[in-house]
Amino acid sequence: MTEPITLQQDETFVLNVGPQHPATHGVLRVKMTMDGEYIYNAETVLGYIHRMHEKMAENRTYPQYMPNMGRLDYLSAMSFNHGYALVVERACNIEVPERAEYIRVITVELNRIASHLVWLGAYVLDLGGFTPLMYCFDDREQILDLLEAVTGSRLTYCYFRFGGLYNDIDDDFITGTRAFITHFRKELKMYAKLVTGNVILMKRLKGHGPVDQNMCQRYGATGPVARGSGINYDVRRNEPYSVYPDFDFEVPVFTEGDSYARYLVRMEEMEQSLRIIEQALDKLPDGPINPKKKPKLIKPPPGDYFAAVETARGNFGIRMVSDGGKNAYRMKLRSPTYSNMHLFDEACRGMLIADALAFMGSLDLVIPEMDR
């Protein structure tokens, strides 16, 4: 990290980045104390769109609360569906049919690619490159077309059900997904030439925004942020759930800890998601997508339950406390972006503001997920 600058009180000023600044992609405010173009201190101010999602769990039945998951991380909503379904299924001891588990993985991984494509296009746009955004959103539209045909939605999904799914996939979905895999592998090679190897991008990202493993551990950073700093942790591999143990895939890890390393992690993750989807389609079993026996009224036994999943931005954990009623007694949502964002304040001290904004983009923030 750049050496901290010596503060000259008579030459400093406060710069508000946000709450409507285009560089933040949401209603986020960062109060920066500046000495010229160098950052002396940065204070993250949240809460501008806080919606009390955790409190809402206390006055909604368990099925009624499922749509809330799509309103947290709207770019990776399928993973949040999965996490909530998982914790309730564990609490109620509901078995999920094997076909439903495979379809869950397919749709989650498609959604993960779509999320990374939004990040890639917006990130390069922040750095001054417009063309990649067009390619990214064109590829993302193909994923949204596939998911819309099955879920009825293109963004805030509510596709999972306790014990299964809302709808089964058909031959058209399978054919379309295989065609997308073939197409997108070619696109990844194009992105490698157009963006990854671009000398301007590398100059902007390499060596900037360094985050070491100690900082990740202190702030609880997970996902691509932690894996870009050499921490080999992915919930799908380290705390296996669903049918992820059935698939052969790698967890991309880079040790440099800079903005470029975090960029490379996400680019590699898209290829790994394609591998998982392809294997899931090859192994897709026949059978029902919902259990034969499921309680008509979801009322988990009294207890304290937890489940975690790997979203596009890291570890999403749900702690659910039940008193035996039809509503949760308490619900705690562990947001990956909330932890990832808070290391920004420490890591950006002494950086130029232009480098700090490139660093912020490498964290891939989704503000509604932080402002739960």
232 in Cβ contact with 226 (< 8 Å): no
In a domain, 330, yes or no: no
Please tell me whether residues 208 and 158 are part of one structural domain: yes
For residue 1, pLDDT over 50 is answered with: no
Please tell me whether residues 70 and 196 are part of one structural domain: yes
Please report which confidence band the pLDDT of residue 174 belongs to, taking 50, 70 and 90 as the band edges: very high
More confident residue, 128 or 184: 184
The secondary structure of the chain in percent helix, strand, coil, rounded to multiples of 5, reads: 50, 15, 35
pLDDT for res 8:
53
Q: Of 112, 22, 106, which is closest to residue 75 (Cα–Cα)?
A: 112
Calculate mean pLDDT across residues 223-230.
Answer: 92
CA distance 91 to 301: 7
Q: Please identify which residue in the block is written with the tokens 């439903």.
A: 100
pLDDT for res 98:
93
Please tell me whether residues 150 and 211 are part of one structural domain: yes
Instruction: Locate 108 and state its tokens.
Output: 């989650």
Please report which confidence band the pLDDT of residue 366 belongs to, taking 50, 70 and 90 as the band edges: confident
Calculate mean pLDDT across residues 234-255.
Answer: 92
Please tell me whether residues 67 and 136 are part of one structural domain: yes
In a domain, 307, yes or no: yes
In a domain, 3, yes or no: yes
pLDDT for res 51:
82
For residue 6, pLDDT over 60 is answered with: no
Q: Please identify which residue in the block is written with the tokens 């204070």.
A: 43
Instruction: Locate 360 and state its tokens.
Output: 């912020």
Please tell me whether residues 20 and 121 are part of one structural domain: no
Please tell me whether residues 357 and 313 are part of one structural domain: no
CATH number, domain at 215?
1.10.645.10
Q: Of 107, 270, 143, which is closest to residue 195 (Cα–Cα)?
A: 270
For residue 47, pLDDT over 90 is answered with: no
In a domain, 270, yes or no: yes
Mean pLDDT of the chain, nearest integer: 89
In a domain, 54, yes or no: no
Check: pTM over 0.85? Answer yes or no: yes
CA dist 153 → 26, 99, 180, 190, 309 (Å): 22, 21, 19, 29, 22
Please report which confidence band the pLDDT of residue 41 belongs to, taking 50, 70 and 90 as the band edges: confident
Please report which confidence band the pLDDT of residue 245 belongs to, taking 50, 70 and 90 as the band edges: very high
pLDDT for res 10:
61
Please tell me whether residues 209 and 179 are part of one structural domain: yes
Please report which confidence band the pLDDT of residue 262 belongs to, taking 50, 70 and 90 as the band edges: very high
In a domain, 326, yes or no: no
For residue 325, pLDDT over 60 is answered with: yes
In a domain, 332, yes or no: no
pLDDT for res 4:
52
H helix runs in the chain, sequence order: 53-56, 62-69, 77-92, 98-126, 131-151, 171-191, 199-205, 213-219, 223-227, 235-238, 259-283, 336-347, 353-362, 367-370
Give the model confidence (pLDDT) of 67-111 as tens digits. 999 888 889 999 999 999 999 999 999 999 999 999 999 999 999
Q: Please identify which residue in the block is written with the tokens 């950006």.
A: 348
Q: Of 141, 119, 136, which is closest to residue 223 (Cα–Cα)?
A: 119
Calculate mean pLDDT across residues 331-351.
Answer: 89
**Residue % of the chain over a pLDDT of 70:** 95
Q: Of 223, 198, 194, 202, which is closest to residue 211 (Cα–Cα)?
A: 223
Please report which confidence band the pLDDT of residue 9 belongs to, taking 50, 70 and 90 as the band edges: low
CA distance 277 to 84: 22
pLDDT for res 65:
92
Please tell me whether residues 120 and 156 are part of one structural domain: yes
Of 41-45, 157-161, 327-331, least confident by mean pLDDT is 41-45
Based on the structure, what is the number of domains in the chain? 2
Please tell me whether residues 167 and 22 are part of one structural domain: no
State which residues form the domain around 28: 1-48+341-372
CA distance 319 to 306: 4
Please tell me whether residues 110 and 13 are part of one structural domain: no
